[in-house]
Structure 1
């Protein structure tokens, strides 16, 4: 069991901010709100979004001037963005892009080497906190879907029909890609999210075996785990994996593969739940490159 680290920081008091800096934070929060509104479905009005982002901006301002300097506030801001449902595919990229000289200019802060170094460190921490919170939320969704699949196996006939209806609704509407294959790896069905992710139609996908989508640079451990799963030696595993799209491009994903057994406990189907993490992967590589 991994240790859970609490990265939350206490909200700073507004009275500690210079009025000019506070006005700059308010102006930047409005710019930030304009950039991210529409990139995610957030159950807030525009004014509420600006107010929420202003509170996060004030946390950033205090972090930039704190002594000793810490990156934990950046991590906290990333997590709070996910908690508020700012999880669209462009939200993180637009946020990181804004948290540069635009922020320092709005706040009237001289963009010297120290401030730029601190801001870069907070950007990296924000991206890390955002990625971790988003992964934890995705894993919770995946566990719920997996539980629904297992529940469908165990229920009586009447309850089974209801469970299958719930699974079909989840399968169809889920934001993550879901695919079902038999134990030999022949693809039986995929949802719309997976079709959009890989660029194949459901009819085209049914012509493939899972091994046909194998990336030549996949780690050997991924396929050792896959062989163990299809042999019934484990019930599920998770891995980072690349898939090829219909247009030849590659997609970085977080893959969760689960085994569904029949009434006798023998392997019957495999269910793959696939999250596209290409944008986060590229962003983290870029931030790592900038940091070095």
Structure 2
């Protein structure tokens, strides 16, 4: 499969997601150019930005629906692997699959960043237009008030004005809906009264500074808990409107509901940092945590014994179910300790304990994990037994090379395995 056929499959996968600004032929031509770079990256090329560039180009031509992400990730993880590999017997196939997963994660991150940039650009344009109309209303009231009202009422973002006593002058319907209010109930009330005590956060503090004349503007992303219990994520900008003499006349706020974008970003982050099968943190997420872990550090390296035999005898679907049970048991055993468990390989897991009290705590925790994970488990009416080998390592200070943590615990585990082979009674 070449880049052109891969582009056609990708374009077909995106059919019906949104009405793009390009024709189908133009989309295929655009994707073909991107696919050439992606295939090269999957084969080990050195372009670190190719997947993010693909995401930015899709957003630029109006692919902004979350479905575009999930369908594109499937193309990258499946069709791209076929295009990059030299057939199913290609010895480089595992490395190509691994690179494809990394490209999919980069694509998802790039898509989220491009969506945010597009939303913020639209936000800035709306704010600039609103402020321009508001300032014109002060100098040419008769004409500009009508324009301001048109922008105010017809905007696709929330707009509200506040006087210098902290009371709402007016707001449009979208602003009121974000706050769980109506446009009729907000004017005349203080911002503190409308928000309620649960929402008097950083954004409210910045508003107070503006009311006191100590600040001219601010911008922040905040969460608002409505009276119906729903939480709305809001991108809020506030600016002071001054008269011709420089005195502040009122404050104007523009708000964008970014709840769906934030939820999408959170979901994409979770998918990129967690193992799809077990739900545990994955290897990249673990190593990211290790770089900023609080010493002393303790790690337990776990390897399942006899897992290959389960796969060979019962099949990989049963093996996958066994891994999920193992992950659930690890979570339950570690819940009181606050330790982090991650899946770092096929049947390999690692547990990170920050602020560890010493090797005694590590050994006790390893014993608890051993007891929890080696208990027999039932699969389709059959009782299966899974053995576990555990190695531990303790560090007073965080090593400069985080690989050292894993290697030390891995080595300890293999020493135990070798000791057990020499002395089966151990």
Matching residue of 2:8: 26
TM-score of the two chains, using structure 1 as the length reference: 0.75
Q: Does 2:74 correspond to 1:97?
A: no
Matching residue of 2:137: 152
TM-score of the two chains, using structure 2 as the length reference: 0.53
- Rounded to whole Å, the distance in 1 between the matches of 2:224 and 2:28 is 36
CA deviation profile, 1:199-240 (whole Å, cap 9, x unmatched):
4221233374222315737654x3442222112222221111
- Rounded to whole Å, the distance in 2 between the matches of 1:23 and 1:279 is 33
The counterpart of 2:23, out of the listed 34, 48, 51, is 48
SS at match of 1:275: strand
Residues 111-122 of structure 1 mapped to structure 2, 5 A cutoff: 112-122=97-107
Is contact 2:10-2:31 (8 Å) kept? no
Residues 138-177 of structure 1 mapped to structure 2, 5 A cutoff: 138-153=123-138, 155=139, 159-177=140-158
Is contact 1:36-1:94 (8 Å) kept? no
Higher-Rg member (1/2): 2
The counterpart of 2:186, out of the listed 162, 182, 205, is 205
- Rounded to whole Å, the distance in 2 between the matches of 1:223 and 1:73 is 41
- Rounded to whole Å, the distance in 2 between the matches of 1:172 and 1:49 is 37
Q: Does 2:263 correspond to 1:282?
A: yes
- Rounded to whole Å, the distance in 1 between the matches of 2:122 and 2:35 is 24
Residues 1-292 of structure 1 mapped to structure 2, 5 A cutoff: 19=2, 21-37=3-19, 44=21, 48=23, 51-52=26-27, 55-56=30-31, 58-60=33-35, 62-66=37-41, 67-87=44-64, 91=65, 93-107=66-80, 108-109=82-83, 112-153=97-138, 155=139, 159-206=140-187, 208-211=189-192, 212-213=194-195, 216=198, 219-220=201-202, 222-262=203-243, 265-289=246-270, 290-291=272-273, 292=285
State the Cα RMSD in Å.
2.9
- List runs of 5+ in structure 2 lacking aligned partners: 84-92, 274-284, 286-426
